[in-house]
Amino acid sequence: MSFQTGEKFKISIFGQSHSEEMGVVIDNLPSGFMIDEDKLAAFMARRAPGRDAFSTSRKEGDKVRFVSGITDGKTNGAPLCAIIENTNTRSKDYENLKDIPRPGHADFAAWSKFGEDRDVSGGGQFSGRLTAPLCIAGGIFKQILEKKGIYIGAHIASIGKVKDDLFDSVNVCEKDFVGDKAFPVINDSKGEEMQKEILDAKGEADSIGGTVECAIVGIPAGVGNTFFGGWESVISSKVFAIPAVKGIEFGRGFEASALRGSENNDAFIIKNGKIVTETNNHGGIMGGISSGMPIIFRVAFKPTPSIGKEQRSVSLSKMESVALVIHGRHDPCIVQRAAVCVEAAAAVAIADTLL
Amino acid sequence: MSFQTGEKFKISIFGQSHSEEMGVVIDNLPSGFMIDEDKLAAFMARRAPGRDAFSTSRKEGDKVRFVSGITDGKTNGAPLCAIIENTNTRSKDYENLKDIPRPGHADFAAWSKFGEDRDVSGGGQFSGRLTAPLCIAGGIFKQILEKKGIYIGAHIASIGKVKDDLFDSVNVCEKDFVGDKAFPVINDSKGEEMQKEILDAKGEADSIGGTVECAIVGIPAGVGNTFFGGWESVISSKVFAIPAVKGIEFGRGFEASALRGSENNDAFIIKNGKIVTETNNHGGIMGGISSGMPIIFRVAFKPTPSIGKEQRSVSLSKMESVALVIHGRHDPCIVQRAAVCVEAAAAVAIADTLL
Amino acid sequence: MSFQTGEKFKISIFGQSHSEEMGVVIDNLPSGFMIDEDKLAAFMARRAPGRDAFSTSRKEGDKVRFVSGITDGKTNGAPLCAIIENTNTRSKDYENLKDIPRPGHADFAAWSKFGEDRDVSGGGQFSGRLTAPLCIAGGIFKQILEKKGIYIGAHIASIGKVKDDLFDSVNVCEKDFVGDKAFPVINDSKGEEMQKEILDAKGEADSIGGTVECAIVGIPAGVGNTFFGGWESVISSKVFAIPAVKGIEFGRGFEASALRGSENNDAFIIKNGKIVTETNNHGGIMGGISSGMPIIFRVAFKPTPSIGKEQRSVSLSKMESVALVIHGRHDPCIVQRAAVCVEAAAAVAIADTLL
Amino acid sequence: MSFQTGEKFKISIFGQSHSEEMGVVIDNLPSGFMIDEDKLAAFMARRAPGRDAFSTSRKEGDKVRFVSGITDGKTNGAPLCAIIENTNTRSKDYENLKDIPRPGHADFAAWSKFGEDRDVSGGGQFSGRLTAPLCIAGGIFKQILEKKGIYIGAHIASIGKVKDDLFDSVNVCEKDFVGDKAFPVINDSKGEEMQKEILDAKGEADSIGGTVECAIVGIPAGVGNTFFGGWESVISSKVFAIPAVKGIEFGRGFEASALRGSENNDAFIIKNGKIVTETNNHGGIMGGISSGMPIIFRVAFKPTPSIGKEQRSVSLSKMESVALVIHGRHDPCIVQRAAVCVEAAAAVAIADTLL
């Protein structure tokens, strides 16, 4: 499978960067859930391109149209299909790319797998734009999860070498989430430094990477499965669907690999009559199953591969080296737009087990 | 699902740390493959406990017995079931743990999910011992993959703060693999430092974490799926099944998040009449699909949670704080034994798509 | 899952009888396949309503619009989404049905499961209209299968008590298929009797059931899986998705249950240098796997539940018995339109294993 | 997949007719369920061979040994693995069958798929003996379902042309089940006729087929899924896993295809304050979902293919016609032993949705 996932809720994403429409089908949604369309639109807007100087100038409204599964605003038990339009496509920007794969992009791998019949425009099915239907699904699941007291929030943890503060992994809760900010960081002065970092990269016709931290709060202890079905497996497999993700770590993550057991183990204590851990190095997951503490993970995004600088590539038809300059509209950094995608991927991942 | 995985080859693992037997069923294996039992035994031996001072003194032969699926040494097309015995169990070591969850272990999550009916002995289904059947499956798939020219090798990349050399991500090939070494590192002098690190931790009744780097070589460009089905999703979801894994990164991974696009993008060049990348920051995967370069990833293992030092926990029955000292036999470090598990998980992950 | 199926090719159907659009997403189609749109339109036309006196007067063009997955007429490797419009909806016909479940329909079960939030119009997700997107998927797979020499054909085997001739189960091949006929029977004089049977039922404001026989030719011996994955399991699970199907039998089917082994066993013989069976009581499937003989099965359709006669039902709100007369446009018999759905379901079923 | 099934509960069967052991793994069973081992043994005994003159003289105790997943008699949340031994194998009976496929058996299909490496002895993976592990899984699920008030019962509905009475499809309940009878029929005098039929076939070195009727009672209205996920799809795909099954029908089934809508539709009435149908032609399933009425289906079994009479086959190595006489121990009829397998398959099928 590729664009389909889920055990209970089957999610099927379709579209290409420059197809007229793209969308998602969700099978098996329970009936009777009222989708807050304004809230969903606000969620989509967090991902939408063209909002400011830090991202691509391609503008898309990303207005969600429900084709099926909704009657009078509520889910009706039939498969939900939601569609958005691709209005602002400029396929001619991609004409020469049919022969010259862009470094850092999927172009070469796509050509190797699909040959001449692949859709080249805008990266086709490999475009980051495919995260828009992921966000539709994730936005809907987030709403359903919130009715059950489960909240998901992500923020930019770093851009280049500039780091935001991290969530308080023990106490983080819904009110700490910063998704509503135009530039979703905890520490706004760090955010300003990050924006400068992005504009510097942009000024040099370059791009910059970053990391996103995500917290899931409200899952009680003892939920989830083991081994292949553990939360880390479930979450990571969805998060890696987001283009440009190159790493994921839970709790202390890679840092824990340099620690002693006595430093990394989280002591159990009783707080307000409940068993909790004093620290949360484990990131809310033990043996694949929730511990009742916030689930915390961080995701690494590589720098946007599309840059204005000249790069070395090859002509697929002539099998010779060529210099490539990429035109078109691109993000100097996608991390600020990616935070919402991480939330969406997490929502899709956990909905299967939690609903 | 928990101990079951796979789309084409369905793998189903069973057993608990102290069940009489444990094993694995593999459905849909092609017929006519001669399993090299000596090679499989050697692969199992790399994981087996009790070999040296760096790991637990619990000794298990881990001799594989084929129950079905094999006729005259060859796969016969029926589901393959392979079983190993648990001979050296000392369940009384775990008697007091029924009431007191061990910090860093799955005990509390297991109690939250399964209640009093869970199997406590040796960690039950949450024990690292469940990676033995994973290694049976992985060892078999590795043999089949090798017939197709695909090789998987992992080494210890770090123990605590001591780092091994990394694979040459562009040129790494089968002969660079160090799995046959008793202590699988590329740079043996670093290996000696690591062993000292482990013995230091052991001497202090403590434990230490580390990382493993894994390379998969021989997958041609254009293999794999996209989005939810990309190689990163597929591999990560299997690797996180290994207990104690807290992070995974592909190619430059988290480091790439601090880079500029111009630094991280890999230029395409022509080498020996083939299109390759000059560097391999992308780790052999583009848009979820293989690029033809070695697939490279690193995995973070937390320190073994079982340590001899006194720790703070709670009594589940009395809901009060208690001091806990864990007896029993434990690894001061599991990373040297985990490298083979990473290979096994990778083999299971890629077999589904490649065979 | 409900409207999603498939192991390799994930198919996800969406829509309701009276949603503006309905459609299907097919994930993982190979790239480079040129879809013959005229042929697909002709296939869809076989199912489309409103063509003659034997079916409902609701008219739908069922023109297929490809949203994604196609570039220049060929599959491009991205998920294929195809949509048709529902143009001729008369939802007011269904207003009183919100409270009174129609006998023989899914209304009561739907209310029991989904409550007041279900879509009542036209039967919502339970409408036979949902077989239109099934036919899109099936029509595409049929075309791909035909390139591999595999053909699927179905005919009306009976209407009421009038029986068509059956396929010659040993020799049936593509040229014997009658799908292009307006009334797809082998024996046209039987077809005339059947049509009279339908018009008789219609004249009495009643409906009539029937059976469909389907043959799949061109699958070589030794293809398919065993036990839960056998062809009978795979095919039956897709065929029962078609509303109104109440039974399926392979080869001699129920008749075989009254036979002796010596009568039912098919002798092996050598014909044209190939091992075949002399008769084909087994229906082309042995141990779940293809024998190389035509795969033959028959499907029972109940009479259309919507009839003009007064029927006894209950008011859900008042919990009292009521007399119900159904208005609206209905098929006195759906078997002639269902034959193509059986072909579509069979194509979807076998594509997973054969492509 | 072949021997693996299930969405929530993953079931993986392993073994061959003459492997030393065979068994089943069930993943994701809830913890805390006390398995009644005597009841399970009694369930297994209904399937076990060698009990009387009507079945094969091969005797197997089929004593179930739990390898994992059970602590103190209760499920512990780990994967349950249960194993039975094959003690009474006489592989030499099958030596000549390596070259000569038995008519009606899977031998030829198996050779076509798996080649020389298949396991020939006793039919290998295609043996009806593989239904023993299916019965372990089914027997366990039946016990769990019964705790929820859901009961499954099957009886012989016909042997050859002799028919048992059918269940009262409206009122059938647990106390009507006849599984405990040595020869499970409703009408014992019909049972005597059937036994005569079997002995007649046996006397002529022949075999005879039959049908099994199964009822599932206690599922409330509104349970199950739609379309591909409907109860008919779910149940049929499991039932066809049983070797020798050639057909299945729900409710009135094939008979309904000859009826008028006014005859087949079941009127809704109110009985004891509940909405029910007056008749149950629909067999308890509407639109794929339970109606609250008993689920009723019938299954056609072909005559046992192994008969003592000389049959015509071919030599695979010499590609020439040969006469074949099958020795070994065989059932003149498997229907009386198959009834319990139908119950097991039904239990496996519905557990996924109901637990």
* pLDDT for position B50: 58
pLDDT at C87: 83
Q: Is the pLDDT reported for residue A91 higher than 80?
A: no
Q: How large is the average pLDDT for residues C73-98?
A: 85
pLDDT of the residue at D96:
77
Mean pLDDT confidence for C49-76: 81
pLDDT, tens digit (0-9, with 9 covering 90-100), for C124-180:
999 999 999 999 999 999 999 999 999 999 999 999 999 999 999 999 999 999 999
Say yes or no to pLDDT of A49 above 80.
no
Lowest mean pLDDT across A204-208, C286-290, D86-90, D340-344? D86-90
Between C289 and B92, the more confident residue is: C289
pLDDT at D61: 74
Calculate mean pLDDT across residues B217-229. Answer: 97
Q: Is B59 a residue whose pLDDT tops 80?
A: no
pLDDT (0 to 100) of residue B355: 86
| Neighbour subunits, C (≥3 Cβ pairs < 8 A) | A, B, D
- CB contact under 8 Å between B14 and D114, yes or no, is no
Going by pLDDT thresholds of 50, 70 and 90, the confidence category of residue B53 is low
In chain B, which residues touch D (CB < 8 A)? Answer: 1-4, 10, 12-16, 19-23, 25, 27-28, 31-32, 67-69, 71, 74-81, 83, 110, 113-119, 124-125
Question: Which has the higher per-residue pLDDT, C100 or C92?
Answer: C100
CATH code (residue D130): 3.60.150.10
pLDDT on residue D56: 63
The tally of domains found in chain D comes to 1
Confidence of residue B330 (pLDDT cuts 50, 70, 90): confident
How far is Cα B42 from Cα A121, in angstroms, rounded to an integer?
Answer: 50
Phi-psi region of D104 (alpha: psi -120 to 50; beta: other; left: phi over 0): left
Does the distance separating the beta carbons of C7 and B225 come in below 8 Å? Answer: no
Nearest CA in chain C to B79: C226
Nearest C-alpha in A relative to D78: A226
Of the pLDDT bands very low, low, confident and very high (cuts 50, 70, 90), residue C59 is: low
The pLDDT assigned to D50 comes to: 58
What is residue A242's three-state secondary structure?
A: coil
Residue in chain A closest to D9 (alpha carbons) equals A7
pLDDT in tens, A66-81: 999 999 999 999 999 9
- Counting residues of chain A whose pLDDT is more than 70, the rounded percentage is 94
pLDDT tens digits, residue range A290-327? 999 999 999 999 999 999 999 999 999 999 999 999 88
The reported pLDDT for the residue numbered B327 is 80
Q: Crossing angle, helix B37-47 and helix B131-147, to 10 degrees?
A: 140
Sheet holding C162-163, edge to edge: C162-163, C151-159, C210-217, C295-301, C245-250, D245-250, D295-301, D210-217, D151-159, D162-163
Q: Which of D226, D228, D234 to mutate to test the interface with A (most CBs of A within 10 A)?
A: D226
For residue C57, pLDDT over 70 is answered with no
| Phi/psi-derived region of residue B323, left when phi > 0, alpha when psi is between -120 and 50, beta in every other case | beta
Contact C228 D237 (CB under 8 A): yes
Write out residues in chain D with pLDDT < 50, as ranges: none
Q: Is A212 exposed, middle or buried (0-12, 13-18, 19+ CB in 10 A)?
A: buried
Q: Is C85 helix (H, G, I), strand (E, B) or coil?
A: strand
pLDDT at res. B329 = 67
- pLDDT score, position C94: 67
SS (H, E, C) chain B: CCCEECCCCEEEEECCCCCCEEEEEEECCCCCCECCHHHHHHHHHHHCCCCCCCCCCCCCCCCCEEEECEECCEECCCCEEEEEECCCCCHHHHHHHHCCCCCCCCHHHHHHHHHHHCCCHHHHHHCHHHHHHHHHHHHHHHHHHHHCCCEEEEEEEEECCEECCCCCCCCCCHHHCCCCCCCCCCCHHHHHHHHHHHHHHHHCCCCECEEEEEEEECCCCCCCCCHHHCHHHHHHHHHCCCCCEEEEEECCHHHHHHCEHHHHCCCEEEECCEEEECCCCCCCEECCEECCCCEEEEEEECCCCCCCCCEEEEECCCCEEEEECCCCCCCCCCHHHHHHHHHHHHHHHHHHHHC
* Chain C nearest C-alpha distance from A125 (Å): 6
A contacts of C67 (beta carbons < 8 Å): 14-15, 19-23, 83
* Amino acid identity, position B128: G
Residues of D within 8 A of A28 (CB-CB) are: 225, 229
Domain span including residue C269: 4-354
Residues contacting residue B96 through CB under 8 Å, at least 6 positions apart: none
Q: What are C110-139's pLDDT values in tens digits? A: 999 999 999 988 889 999 999 999 999 999
* Residue C279 tokens, joined: 């008769």
The Cα C78–Cα A125 span in angstroms is: 6
In the predicted model, what is the mean pLDDT of residues C283-305? 98
Q: C41: pLDDT confidence band, cut at 50, 70 and 90?
A: very high
Helices (H) and strands (E) in chain D, counts: 7, 18
Residue A232 is predicted with a pLDDT of 98
Q: Report pLDDT for C1.
A: 75
Q: Give the confidence band of B185 by pLDDT, cuts at 50, 70, 90.
A: very high
The pLDDT, as a whole number, for residue B306 is 92
Contact present, D331 and D52 (Cβ < 8 Å): no
Q: How far is CA D288 from CA C1, C61, C241, D227, in A?
A: 12, 28, 8, 6
Distance (Å, whole) CA B142 – CA B136? 10
The mean of the pLDDT values for chain C is 94
Rounded to whole angstroms, the Cα distance separating B123 from B115 reads: 14
Q: Which residues of C touch B225 (CB under 8 A)?
A: 28
Query: Which residues on B lie below 8 Å from C9 (Cβ)?
Result: none
β-strand A311-315 against A320-324: which pairing, if any? antiparallel
| Predicted pLDDT of residue B60 | 64
User: Looking at residue C5, what is its pLDDT?
Assistant: 94
pLDDT band at C30 (very low <50, low <70, confident <90, very high): very high
Q: In this predicted model, what pLDDT tens digit does every residue of D65-122 receive, in sequence order?
A: 999 999 999 999 999 999 999 987 666 666 778 999 999 999 999 999 999 999 988 8
pLDDT at C48: 82
Q: What is the pLDDT of residue A97?
A: 80
Give D64→chain B minimum CA distance, Å.
15
Residue C229: its chain B contacts at CB < 8 A?
28
- Chains near A with 3+ CB pairs less than 8 A apart are B, C, D
CB atoms within 10 A of CB D269: 15
- Nearest residue, CB atoms, D236 vs list C237, C270, C290: C237
pLDDT at A93 > cutoff 80: no
Per the CB < 8 Å rule, is B249 touching A250? no
Supply the pLDDT for residue D101: 96
Q: C189-223, pLDDT tens digit by residue?
A: 999 999 999 999 999 999 999 999 999 999 999 99
**Rounded mean pLDDT, C74-92:** 87
Query: For position C50, what pLDDT does the model report?
Result: 58
Question: Do C225 and B7 lie within an 8 Å CB cutoff?
Answer: no
Asked if the Cβ–Cβ distance from D254 to C258 is below 8 Å, we say no
Share of chain C above pLDDT 70, in %: 94
- Per residue in A137-173, pLDDT (tens digit) is 999 999 999 999 999 999 999 999 999 999 999 999 9
Task: Select from C227, C246, C273 the Cβ nearest to the Cβ of D130.
Answer: C227
Least confident of A52-66, B180-194, B274-288, C57-71: A52-66
CA–CA distance, B140 with B147 (Å, rounded to integer): 11
Q: Is residue A239's pLDDT more than 90?
A: yes
pLDDT value at position A90?
63
Q: What is the pLDDT of residue C122?
A: 86
**What is the C-alpha separation between B332 and B306, in angstroms, rounded?**
8
